[in-house]
């Protein structure tokens, strides 16, 4: 079985190469999968992709023409795949859960860094500046956290917030977390001091944080997004920060990240003016979609992806298949 592996990073090779044996061969490509690079999958039985590969209808058609039978996502989200086009042509599998605590802990790490000004103190002390001016933070204990989406990651974040003594409001169509008080989205954004997004990107959730919802939030609210960038209207976020309505933003994802994140752009001019302005704000933390990046998560991603591939080709089982509803 040959697997065309797209958007390869050094850590991918480390965790997937040990599986290149016993009839399974990974062909690693640094480039992302899109209409222009789909030809690299010619001769492969499967294609392995990540969050910023663009698997639209034209890509699906090309993969089908090349007799690629399986599209193995090494991530949980699948909003970058045209499932309607894939139906009946190519099977799509994913990694539904790899390390929910990794993402939840990163969300809390960003929140703590922001509210206690750790990033500012770090930069100061490296210049031997030990002044405390401008470093006043606030205590999380007793504050209200609003958690949007309480699946495994959101549920883990709820537990962390409870450990800090926070009141937790939650919004989810399928309530499943016992540690939170479920409510409607409108109340959550009105009453929360911290809003953390842990829901999938769907037509209903796209840009759920927008000018209208920002206007309804508490003054000084902190927004955390470790899920999908398009949950937030970035221009509305920037406007809310400039108007001092949003007290801080912790972003591990960004709606236009596909051509920027996971790459070293330090020697280039950043053409995305909104992202450049967000990064320039003293109350905005941006990390490059790294919330999942732990040894445990990478091991689980590789193991589950390989299990999905072997189950399909060796036993005819569509394990962790993504089905169009």
Which distant-in-sequence residues (6+ apart) come within 8 Å of 56 by Cβ? 34, 35, 82, 85
DSSP reduced 3-state for 189: helix
Distance separating alpha carbons of residues 69 and 82, to the nearest angstrom = 15
Look at residue 316 in the predicted model and tell me its pLDDT. Answer: 93
Catalytic: 228?
yes
CA atoms within 13 A on the CB side of 91: 16
Q: Which of 94, 228, 230, 255 is catalytic?
A: 228
Q: Which of 289, 295, 296, 315 is catalytic?
A: 289
Look at residue 259 in the predicted model and tell me its pLDDT. Answer: 78
How much is the mean pLDDT over the chain? 95
Distance separating alpha carbons of residues 87 and 322, to the nearest angstrom = 10
Distance separating alpha carbons of residues 171 and 228, to the nearest angstrom = 17
DSSP characters over 61-84? HHHHHTT--EEEESSS--TTB-HH
Fold of 2-98+295-315: Rossmann fold (3.40.50)
Q: Tens digits of per-residue pLDDT, 39-74?
A: 999 999 999 999 889 999 999 999 999 999 999 999
Catalytic: 321?
no
Fold of 100-286: Rossmann fold (3.40.50)
Nearest CA among 303, 240, 243, 251 for reference residue 106: 251
Q: Tens digits of per-residue pLDDT, 137-149?
A: 999 999 999 999 9
Q: Which of 257, 277, 303, 315 is catalytic?
A: 257
Element of type H or E holding 273 = helix 273-280
Structure tokens at 209: 């944080």
Element of type H or E holding 18 = none
Say if 2-98+295-315 and 100-286 have the same CATH topology. Answer: yes
Strands lying side by side in the sheet with 2-5: 25-28, 2-5, 46-49, 70-73, 91-93
In angstroms, the Cα distances linking 320 to 55, 72, 75, 93, 317 are 18, 10, 11, 5, 9
Average pLDDT estimate for 260-286 = 91
Q: Tens digits of per-residue pLDDT, 238-248?
A: 999 999 999 99
Q: Tens digits of per-residue pLDDT, 81-123?
A: 999 999 999 999 999 988 899 999 999 999 999 999 999 999 9
Domain boundaries, the chain: 2-98+295-315, 100-286
Reported confidence tier of residue 208, pLDDT bands at 50, 70, 90: very high
Catalytic: 289?
yes
pTM of the model: 0.90
Reported confidence tier of residue 161, pLDDT bands at 50, 70, 90: very high
Q: Tens digits of per-residue pLDDT, 220-256?
A: 999 999 999 999 999 999 999 999 999 999 999 999 8
Average pLDDT estimate for 17-21 = 91
DSSP characters over 217-237? SPTTEEEEE-S-GGGB-HHHH
CA atoms within 13 A on the CB side of 22: 7
């Amino acid at each position: 079985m040959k697997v065309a592996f797209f958007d390869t990073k050094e850590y991918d090779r480390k965790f997937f190469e040990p599986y290149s044996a016993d009839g399974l061969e990974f062909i690693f490509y640094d480039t992302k999968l899109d209409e222009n690079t789909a030809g690299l999958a010619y001769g492969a039985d499967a294609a392995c992709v990540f969050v910023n590969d663009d698997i639209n209808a034209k890509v699906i058609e090309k993969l089908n023409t090349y007799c690629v039978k399986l599209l193995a996502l090494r991530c949980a989200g699948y909003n970058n795949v045209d499932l309607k086009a894939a139906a009946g042509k190519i099977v799509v599998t994913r990694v539904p859960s790899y390390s929910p605590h990794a993402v939840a802990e990163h969300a809390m790490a960003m929140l703590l860094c922001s509210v206690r000004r750790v990033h500012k103190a770090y930069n100061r002390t490296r210049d031997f500046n030990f002044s405390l001016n401008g470093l006043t933070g606030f205590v999380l204990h007793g504050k209200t956290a609003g958690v949007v989406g309480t699946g495994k990651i959101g549920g883990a974040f709820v537990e962390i917030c409870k450990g800090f003594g926070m009141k937790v409001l939650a919004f989810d169509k399928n309530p499943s977390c016992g540690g939170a008080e479920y409510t409607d989205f409108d109340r959550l954004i009105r009453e929360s001091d911290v809003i953390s997004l842990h829901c999938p990107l769907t037509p209903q959730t796209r840009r759920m944080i927008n000018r209208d919802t920002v206007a309804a939030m508490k003054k000084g609210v902190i927004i955390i997004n470790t899920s999908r960038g398009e949950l937030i209207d970035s221009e509305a976020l920037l406007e809310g920060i400039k108007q001092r309505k949003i007290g801080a933003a912790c972003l591990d994802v960004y709606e236009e990240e596909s051509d920027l994140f996971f790459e070293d752009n330090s020697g280039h001019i950043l053409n995305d003016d909104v992202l450049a302005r967000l990064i320039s704000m003293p109350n905005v933390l941006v990390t490059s979609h790294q919330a999942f990046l732990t040894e445990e998560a990478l091991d689980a991603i590789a193991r589950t992806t390989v299990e999905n591939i072997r189950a399909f080709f060796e036993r005819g089982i569509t394990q962790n298949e993504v089905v169009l509803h």
